[in-house]
Structure formats: C-alpha cells, structure tokens
Amino acid sequence: MTDPLATDGVTAAPVAAHPAQRAQIRLPAALSFLAGVTDVTSWLLLGGLFSAHITGNLVVLAADTVTHTAPHLAAVLALPIFIVTTVGATAVARRFATRHDRTRRILLGTQALLLVAAAVLSFAGRASADPDAPLGVIIGMCAVCAMASQNAYLHLVPAKAPSTAVMTGNLVAATIAAADLLATWGKSPTAWTRWHDSWPLLAGFIGGCLVGAAASSLLGDHAAVVPAVLAIVVFSATAFRSPTAAID
C-alpha cells in the first residue's frame, strides 16, 4: 500500500470532500453548532454551568473545593443527571437496535423537546438572578439532558462517533491534518480526509459559541429560545431522512 503521506511525485492531488462525506459531516457540524450555543448560554446565564462540556463542571467543582467556595447546585447535579439520561438513551437505542432511523428521531426529538422546555421556562422568571433557585436548576438540567441525548445518539447510532461538545480532539486532528498537508504540499488524501472530518466540527462549535454569546447579550434569560429553535430545525431536517442519507 502506498504511504498516503509520501511526496514522491505520484501522490494524489488535493481532493475535495466527496458528496457522501459532506452529507455525513453535515449533521455533526449542525449538532456542534447547537452544542456551542447551548453551552455558552447556560454558562453565561446559569452561574457558569457547562451544559454540553460536562467535564468542565468537574474542573469548576474542584476549583470551588480548593477555594472553599460553595458550588452551584446545577454544577453538582450535571454529571449524575447526564449519566442517568445517557443510560435511558442507551436503553432506547438497544430497544430499537436495528432501527437507527427511529432511534435518531427519538433522541434528537428528545433533545428538541428538552431545549423547548428550557426556553419556555426562561419566561417564568429571571433564572440568571439566582441560578441556584429551582427555576435556574431545572432550566440547566433540561439543557444538560438535551446534550446527553445528543451525545448518546452520536455514540450509539453512527459507525464513527464524532465529538460535538469537546473540541480538544477535533483541534488536534485538524492541526495534525494541516501539518501533514503542509508537509506534503497538499498531496495527502489521508490528511485531506482528516481535515474534512474535523474542521466543520470546530467551525460549528466556535460559530455556536459566538451566536450563544450574542444571544445572551441581546436577549438575556430568553436566549434559551435560540438553542430551542435550532434543535427544532435540526430535528425537522433529519427526522424523516432515510437511514442511508443520515450519518448512521
């Protein structure tokens, strides 16, 4: 087999993403965008709660412990709630093991319903004024459960599970791909494949973070409407696609 990073003059020319490859990355990129919006809005409005980057809450809790700061209730609950939701999502996926289209509809539909619930609750009061009050905690847990449903779907249904919430791995993959492309003058098909697989996820999440920050600034507590609308759009666009057209 020819080394894909070889530069012997016969290596393939730069390749564009194949239509099938673009189709496979569209949904993860959209989910990355949604995760970025959800994570930033919850962090800005709910006392620093990471709803998508769940392990970030562990860092915050560790810092609070060292500094003798009382932790936010939502941050304490985020990990166990995320785990319980993932267990439930796993049970659903195992129930419909041969029906990936149905599993996709259930899990992405659950994500949309939970974010809609968070948006509706955001009009019941100013959760940001007291994130530890019941309203703020419930809104935060709706967002956490929504992100658990998203991540469970990506690990249970597609053949390859892309990361739509934690961008460290995607950043490493994109950087290595870029370095290999530079080293081979853009002639490595393997590097192009890694690049096409990683940069849309990075771009989606970063774009989502920017939109989430802008929404929080403009809409305040009602910024929860933005991820709700996006989740509905994603669900509507994918709910009735054929299994072969989805990423599973």
Would you identify the CATH topology of the domain 27-245?
Growth Hormone; Chain: A; (1.20.1250)
The reported pLDDT for the residue numbered 170 is 86
Cα–Cα distance for residue pair 81/157, rounded to 1 Å: 21
Exposed/middle/buried for residue 11 (C-beta within 10 Å: 0-12, 13-18, 19+): middle
- Residue 96's pLDDT is what? 80
Is pLDDT at 240 greater than 80 in this prediction?
A: no
pLDDT per residue as tens digits for the range 23-62: 578 999 999 999 999 999 999 999 999 999 898 899 889 9
pLDDT digits (tens, 9 = 90+) for 133-146: 999 999 999 999 99
SS (H, E, C) 44-82: HHCCCCCCCCCHHHHHHHHHHHHCCCCCCHHHHHHHHHH
Render pLDDT for 95-123 as a digit per residue (tens, 0 to 9).
887 777 888 999 999 999 999 999 999 99
Nearest-5° angle of CA 211, CA 215, CA 216? 120
Structure token digits, residue 244: 């072969």
The C-alpha angle 98, 26, 209, rounded to 5 degrees, equals 120
The answer for residues whose C-beta is within 8 angstroms of residue 170's C-beta and 6 or more apart is: 162, 163, 198, 201, 202, 205
Q: Say if residue 74 is exposed, middle or buried (CB neighbours under 10 Å; 0-12, 13-18, 19+).
A: buried
pTM for this one? 0.86
What is the pLDDT, as a whole number, of residue 19? 54
Pull the structure tokens for residue 40: 């930033």
Phi, psi of 4 (to 5 degrees): -65, -15
Task: Report d(CA 210, CA 196) in Å as an integer.
Answer: 22
